[in-house]
Chain A
């Protein structure tokens, strides 16, 4: 048994930033991840990170307002103010850590434009900003000597006397189950892309942390808000960065028209992602697509510019679509990309409410895509997710260290470990029903992508919910063929599927609950936003028996009153 002040689950940008912040405050920290830190999905963020640097004439309030507008007024404005105000200092901190941000002619940080924003305030490293940041963050973890438990998989959170007291985790290399006690646990496990098929997300994005917190008693909030990115590759659904459009690329339909002029006359290709994705899907549905796709046209940007600033998508196009983007438009379509919702937290990452308006678990924290503060509301702006990870990762780390300094370690009975041992053993010794984890995952993913995509309706969402519940029953009978302990990836996949099914159900019941269209949640049967009834968050609580319990919370509005959203 190992003891920590703060244990961080997930070692992407949010997790490592949190671990560094907690260690900085004197806590004994470990960061645990099912993969090595640099394999984390933060890598895949391409285009950049937003910040309004006031010393060069930008205003954090503009950034804040555009984030609020992007969220379709569902984002909590107190949280968005924190995000926008702290962005500048975080960018400078990243630069000092060693991130090789692109520069302007004067040698100072350069910016590019991104969607949903009038001003160029996106800082970047070519088009692999996430990777460049993630590797530097890992360098800092090495420098600080933070303990890293890589290739460990958490099977459950330990809650004692209503407070989080640690985790039970499998060390994948040996297959051994460990009880890790901690005064505070921070969940930073990222997103849930694999709930959908296809998705831009990596195979590791399975919503594990969301499910862990959900089952421990924390509500998942605004789970219906699933972002479809406007430019994903046809075959395998990989991401083509928004930076391409930020740098001036066009979207064309089969007739060669820049169709965004009709949907968003001012911002065109740089309208918010929900708007662009809906426009593309409309073009495709109305017969102006080719093979279920429209086109991203980069040709006029020139080869030299593309190779310097969009190198990765250039390589991606060549390797995965057989298209040289300097010479040809590339077929793209909207694809599942990001979960705006997640584990409900406050602005310091706490998964419980100091004012008791909602129920949570003291001692548990969350940050990054796994969390829902809520910054992104109904639709996240491009380049706000990297910012989210570092600002709220740091805040969660600081707060968790402070919390831990005032909490004793709780006694945890060994029975917790024995209970998990039994559960895993049961799964491993269960005879296969002839069904497979992969089949269930695929059916779930396809159903979600059919019914909870860019356009939704009551009937479709009900179909999806029935499907998810049927799959849950099949899941309870599925077996794992690998009976070994060492690197039993079949076991991990089965456990991940359990988490994904939790997330799929939360997304679907949340979506059925919200009887309006807002941000990414667009119902063809209720196409209008309804501020009178639905300017509020949807919370989904896990229950031991029966369907999830639904609750709502008002949206925090500080300075920006809801308006009609036009781009």
Chain B
């Protein structure tokens, strides 16, 4: 069968190196992947079409691209699943990283971030003679995150990285979790401290793009949330992020609902006057537009709030 593709091309050696779209038709089988289609183009139409690839089975992590606007592995995406009625498939390089040629991106920033989380096991004390004896489920638990193939797909579509290249990003943070949750690692306190810093776990916006696009079910955002929980449990509570989580929880517990004005004030801190003042123009505008009730610690609770409070009482893990 035939499939139509629109591929984003970029040749850095061209006289006028600008990206452009090129349309192709490829000959593929019903079971073929988008990678198979790209291979067909490279092998029989234009061998200058640059794309990384190797295993064809979603294991090596080479062929991350954007297909119809969303990052994914070309080898894992079946042609018929994205173009069931012969639609044109758009293929572009991954986002949030520089493009070197056609679909090949520069992964250096990606690997620099990975390097940043001290990505190797740092056991405490002397190694045992045999293996480390650890609960079996602690290793099985790590299967999910160890399944990460470092393809960069999550980084491509990360909404936080889009506005801040300092953010460590979902892949590297998932990698960090792999060590923070490894009972053999002796440095989790230090790891969590470092991850609490600017660019770390609190800069994730919880947009779930990484969970959605990850081809291996690693769910990087869930790992970041788990790191937040670990960081708070380890006593790193003096961050905007930790205070935000705490204030949110308190607000729901007290009134059954969220009081967003108090949430902001508590997160920023009652005594953080400069930061509060910087928020003041926004608050003032809101007041003028009759949007916000006056900030008040006496936000009206919902009826039956005692039910909510009892549920909290039973299930809340106190930090």
A and B: direct contact (Cβ < 8 Å)?
yes
- Mark out the residues of chain B between 55 and 88 whose CB falls within 8 Å of any chain A CB in the assembled complex: 55-62, 76, 78
Since A135-B148, A315-B58 are in contact, a sample of 17 more A-B pairs with Cβ atoms closer than 8 Å, ordered by chain A residue number, is A35-B62, A44-B59, A55-B130, A98-B120, A103-B139, A107-B134, A108-B130, A131-B146, A142-B115, A204-B54, A235-B29, A236-B57, A322-B31, A482-B47, A482-B48, A488-B48, A489-B47
Inside 8 A of B29's CB, which chain A residues have their CB?
Answer: 235
- Interchain CB contact under 8 A, A139 and B100: no
Q: Mark B37-53, 1 if CB is under 8 A from A, else 0.
A: 00100111011111111
Known: A320-B31, A436-B43. A203 touches B53 (CB 8 A): yes
Inside 8 A of A92's CB, which chain B residues have their CB?
Answer: 130-131
Cα separation A41 to B56 with both chains bound (whole Å): 11
Q: Which of A316, A438, A487, A493 contacts B104 (CB 8 A)?
A: A487
- Interchain CB contact under 8 A, B54 and A142: no
Q: How far is the CB of A386 from chain B (nearest CB, A)?
A: 14
Cα separation A139 to B44 with both chains bound (whole Å): 38
Q: How far is the CB of B46 from chain A (nearest CB, A)?
A: 7
Inside 8 A of B59's CB, which chain A residues have their CB?
Answer: 43-44, 128, 131, 312
Is residue A105 contacting chain B, with contact meaning CB distance below 8 A? yes
Is residue B238 contacting chain A, with contact meaning CB distance below 8 A? no
- Interchain CB contact under 8 A, B47 and A125: no
Known: A107-B133, A438-B43. A202 touches B56 (CB 8 A): yes
Inside 8 A of A44's CB, which chain B residues have their CB?
Answer: 55, 57, 59-60
Cα separation A38 to B61 with both chains bound (whole Å): 8
Is residue A437 contacting chain B, with contact meaning CB distance below 8 A? yes
Q: Which of A105, A131, A493 contacts B47 (CB 8 A)?
A: A493
Inside 8 A of A486's CB, which chain B residues have their CB?
Answer: 12-13, 100-101
Inside 8 A of B132's CB, which chain A residues have their CB?
Answer: 95-96
Is residue B124 contacting chain A, with contact meaning CB distance below 8 A? no
Cα separation A140 to B120 with both chains bound (whole Å): 7
Q: Which residue of A lies closest to B73 (CB)?
A: A319
Among B56, B59, B143, max chain A CB count under 10 A is at B59
Is residue B302 contacting chain A, with contact meaning CB distance below 8 A? no
- Interchain CB contact under 8 A, B121 and A139: yes
What is the total number of residues of chain B having a CB less than 8 Å from a CB of chain A? 60
Q: How far is the CB of B26 from chain A (nearest CB, A)?
A: 13
The interface of chain B, by Cβ under 8 A from chain A, is 11-13, 29, 31, 36, 39, 42-44, 46-62, 76, 78, 100-102, 104, 107, 111, 115, 119-121, 123, 127, 130-136, 139-140, 142-143, 146-150, 182, 184, 217
- Interchain CB contact under 8 A, B100 and A110: no
Inside 8 A of A132's CB, which chain B residues have their CB?
Answer: 146
- Interchain CB contact under 8 A, B119 and A139: yes
- Interchain CB contact under 8 A, A41 and B44: no
Inside 8 A of A493's CB, which chain B residues have their CB?
Answer: 42-43, 47
- Interchain CB contact under 8 A, A203 and B56: yes
28 CB contacts below 8 A, A to B, read A35-B54, A41-B60, A43-B60, A44-B55, A44-B59, A55-B130, A96-B127, A98-B121, A98-B182, A100-B139, A103-B136, A103-B139, A105-B136, A107-B133, A108-B133, A202-B54, A202-B56, A235-B29, A239-B57, A311-B147, A319-B76, A321-B31, A436-B44, A436-B47, A484-B13, A489-B42, A490-B42, A490-B48
Q: How far is the CB of A311 from chain B (nearest CB, A)?
A: 7
Q: Which of A105, A125, A437 contacts B43 (CB 8 A)?
A: A437
Is residue A546 contacting chain B, with contact meaning CB distance below 8 A? no
Q: Which residue of B lies closest to A35 (CB)?
A: B54
- Interchain CB contact under 8 A, B54 and A38: no
Q: Which residue of B lies closest to A53 (CB)?
A: B130
Q: Which residue of A lies closest to B135 (CB)?
A: A107
- Mark out the residues of chain A between 122 and 149 whose CB falls within 8 Å of any chain B CB in the assembled complex: 125-126, 128, 131-132, 135-136, 139-140, 142-143
Is residue A101 contacting chain B, with contact meaning CB distance below 8 A? yes
Q: Which of B42, B44, B54, B146 contacts A39 (CB 8 A)?
A: B54
Cα separation A194 to B51 with both chains bound (whole Å): 18
Q: Which residue of A lies closest to B140 (CB)?
A: A308
Inside 8 A of A437's CB, which chain B residues have their CB?
Answer: 43, 47
The interface of chain A, by Cβ under 8 A from chain B, is 35-36, 38-41, 43-44, 55, 91-92, 95-98, 100-110, 125-126, 128, 131-132, 135-136, 139-140, 142-143, 173, 202-204, 235-236, 238-239, 308, 311-312, 315-316, 319-322, 436-438, 480-482, 484-490, 493
- Interchain CB contact under 8 A, A142 and B119: yes
- Interchain CB contact under 8 A, A101 and B184: no
- Interchain CB contact under 8 A, B140 and A485: no
Cα separation A482 to B12 with both chains bound (whole Å): 13
In the complex, the 8 A-B pairs of residues with the closest C-beta atoms, listed nearest first: A490-B47, A438-B43, A482-B48, A98-B121, A103-B136, A202-B54, A139-B120, A202-B55
Cα separation A143 to B115 with both chains bound (whole Å): 9
Inside 8 A of B140's CB, which chain A residues have their CB?
Answer: 102, 126, 308
Cα separation A319 to B140 with both chains bound (whole Å): 23
Known: A97-B121, A235-B29. A487 touches B57 (CB 8 A): no
- Interchain CB contact under 8 A, A39 and B62: yes
- Interchain CB contact under 8 A, A142 and B120: yes
Known: A43-B55, A203-B53, A308-B140. A235 touches B100 (CB 8 A): no
Q: Which of A106, A143, A315, A320 contacts B133 (CB 8 A)?
A: A106
Q: Which residue of A lies closest to B111 (CB)?
A: A36
Cα separation A238 to B56 with both chains bound (whole Å): 8
Inside 8 A of A136's CB, which chain B residues have their CB?
Answer: 121
Q: How far is the CB of B130 from chain A (nearest CB, A)?
A: 6
Cα separation A311 to B58 with both chains bound (whole Å): 13
- Interchain CB contact under 8 A, A102 and B139: yes
Cα separation A35 to B101 with both chains bound (whole Å): 16
Inside 8 A of B182's CB, which chain A residues have their CB?
Answer: 98, 100
Known: A108-B131, A109-B131, A135-B146. A236 touches B119 (CB 8 A): no
Among B11, B44, B49, B60, max chain A CB count under 10 A is at B60
- Interchain CB contact under 8 A, A481 and B61: no
Q: Which residue of A lies closest to B46 (CB)?
A: A481
- Interchain CB contact under 8 A, A101 and B11: no
Inside 8 A of B131's CB, which chain A residues have their CB?
Answer: 91-92, 95-96, 101, 108-109
Q: How far is the CB of B155 from chain A (nearest CB, A)?
A: 14
Cα separation A107 to B102 with both chains bound (whole Å): 48
Known: A235-B29, A308-B140, A319-B76. A487 touches B100 (CB 8 A): yes
Q: How far is the CB of A436 from chain B (nearest CB, A)?
A: 7
Q: Which residue of A lies closest to B40 (CB)?
A: A438
